[in-house]
């Protein structure tokens, strides 16, 4: 490789990492270096919940160890057959860069992924070494997320878990068949086996105190990423795969990343990226499955032919096809029923349940307890409010699905 300055490497390797969506740090263990010789903290505001418009997480140093890769995953810009500039950090070089950025307050932690150099074990060893230097030599207490390599030896995955707050293993594509076709070196069974091994370690961790066993897994969870729109899988297939991953491996998150065409694409790939709104609708559907008590079939039935409705959110789509279930009386309905009301989130539903203990709620009260009473109003009954005609109105969908418009700057 030609000699590159650290700035050149950073430009190449940070850019190459921007396709990885799975970098939220929620659920990190609370640590603080005050009173120790170490540095950093995962506490307080500002740790990695911000995303730049291009999807990049802006408060972690999100970077690849190298964008050189021996594999040929057709959807990936870093694949061996791709003609892009290559760069590689040394483990010490990257650890130093992380610390420098941290001290300048640019970042709260590190998100590290990598192409496969030499072999999976060698690559994983190098990534673990970055985390080890930070944790052991510099007592770095900031956040570390390692994207692990499923084919690496179990001892290396275990070592990664000792230093990282979060581990993730990319499932890559919604179906085994697509993975076989588009990422020939990857193996769906090995990916799931690695997830199962991490889950086992996370379960074991619960049994032991980290203070009694400092060599035990420190990570608090695992997540994964699925690329959407690179194969023909519909939204039903994608959400079915997610549901099985959540159930089987106790994932904290499945991240959906819209396929982005690369230069000189394979003819096996679609020529265009899917609409970004598809990614957004999948996230909304994912939340309905996990936190709102919806069944997969109910969500999918809101759209057509196994695809979510792109124009309206999946809860509204379901409600418009089940108007007979509405209006719901906010003064009597169970919390689970309130959660089915479009525009009402878990916070709003909880606030209503609490507030109605003090007396029957009117529409004005609902307006104070929710973020958008205009969206909620057609679907509820409150004291002095009954929307009989609106819920049956043929124009209700158009009324609620108005395209978002930017407000005037000086209005």
Contacts to ligand SF4 by CB under 6 A: 69, 71, 73, 76, 78-79, 115-116, 183
Is there a cis peptide before residue 315, judged by omega within 30 degrees of 0?
Answer: no
Tell me if 115 sits within 8 A of 146, measured CB to CB: no
Say how far apart CA 364 and CA 352 lie, in whole Å. Answer: 12
- Shortest CB 71 distance to ligand SF4, Å: 4
- Shortest CB 377 distance to ligand SF4, Å: 47
Residue nearer to ligand SF4 on the CB measure, 77 or 310: 77
Residue nearer to ligand SF4 on the CB measure, 80 or 301: 80
- Shortest CB 281 distance to ligand SF4, Å: 24
Q: What is the DSSP letter of 55?
A: S
- Shortest CB 397 distance to ligand SF4, Å: 40
Tokens of 112: 């590290």
Residue nearer to ligand SF4 on the CB measure, 133 or 171: 171
Listed residue (227, 151, 225) closest to 190, CA to CA: 151
Coil, strand or helix at 187: coil
- Shortest CB 35 distance to ligand SF4, Å: 40
Residue nearer to ligand SF4 on the CB measure, 185 or 337: 185
Listed residue (210, 291, 299) closest to 252, CA to CA: 291
Listed residue (154, 195, 152) closest to 172, CA to CA: 195
What's the Rg (C-alpha) of the chain? 24
Say how far apart CA 339 and CA 350 lie, in whole Å. Answer: 9
Residue nearer to ligand SF4 on the CB measure, 9 or 79: 79
- Shortest CB 115 distance to ligand SF4, Å: 4
Q: What is the DSSP letter of 141?
A: -
Residue nearer to ligand SF4 on the CB measure, 59 or 168: 168
């Amino acid at each position: 490789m030609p000699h590159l300055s650290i700035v050149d490497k950073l430009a190449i390797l940070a850019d190459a990492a921007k396709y990885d969506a799975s970098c939220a740090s929620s659920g990190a263990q609370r640590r603080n270096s005050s009173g120790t010789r170490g540095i950093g903290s995962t506490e307080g505001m500002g740790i990695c919940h911000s995303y730049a418009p291009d999807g990049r997480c802006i408060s972690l140093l999100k970077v690849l160890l190298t964008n050189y890769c021996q594999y040929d995953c057709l959807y990936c810009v870093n694949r061996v057959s791709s003609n892009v500039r290559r760069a590689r950090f040394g483990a010490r070089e990257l650890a130093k860069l992380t610390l420098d950025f941290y001290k300048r307050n640019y970042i709260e932690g590190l998100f590290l992924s990598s192409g496969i150099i030499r072999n999976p074990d060698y690559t994983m060893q190098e990534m673990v070494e970055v985390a080890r230097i930070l944790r052991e030599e510099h007592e770095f207490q900031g956040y570390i997320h390692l994207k692990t390599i499923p084919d690496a030896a179990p001892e290396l995955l275990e070592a990664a878990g000792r230093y990282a707050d979060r581990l993730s293993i990319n499932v890559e594509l919604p179906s085994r068949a697509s993975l076989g076709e588009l990422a020939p070196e990857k193996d769906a069974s090995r990916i799931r086996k690695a997830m199962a091994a991490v889950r086992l370690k996370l379960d074991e961790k619960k049994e032991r105190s980290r203070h009694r066993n400092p060599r035990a897994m420190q990570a608090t969870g695992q997540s994964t990423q699925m690329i959407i729109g690179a194969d023909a899988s519909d939204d039903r297939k994608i959400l079915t795969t997610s549901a099985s991953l959540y159930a089987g491996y106790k994932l904290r998150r499945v991240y959906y990343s819209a396929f982005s065409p690369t230069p000189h694409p394979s003819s096996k790939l679609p020529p265009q990226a899917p609409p970004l709104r598809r990614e957004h609708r999948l996230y909304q559907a994912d939340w309905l499955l996990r936190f709102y008590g919806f069944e997969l079939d109910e969500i999918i039935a809101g759209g057509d032919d196994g695809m979510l409705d792109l124009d309206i959110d999946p809860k509204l789509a379901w409600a418009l096809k089940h108007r007979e279930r509405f209006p719901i009386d906010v003064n009597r309905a169970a919390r689970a029923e309130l959660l089915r009301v479009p525009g009402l989130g878990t916070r709003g539903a909880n606030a209503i349940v609490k507030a109605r203990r003090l007396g029957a709620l009117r529409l004005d009260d609902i307006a104070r307890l929710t973020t958008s009473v205009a969206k909620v109003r057609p679907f509820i009954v409150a004291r002095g409010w009954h929307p009989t005609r609106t819920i049956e109105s043929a124009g209700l969908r158009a009324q609620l699905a108005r395209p978002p418009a930017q407000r005037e700057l000086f209005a």
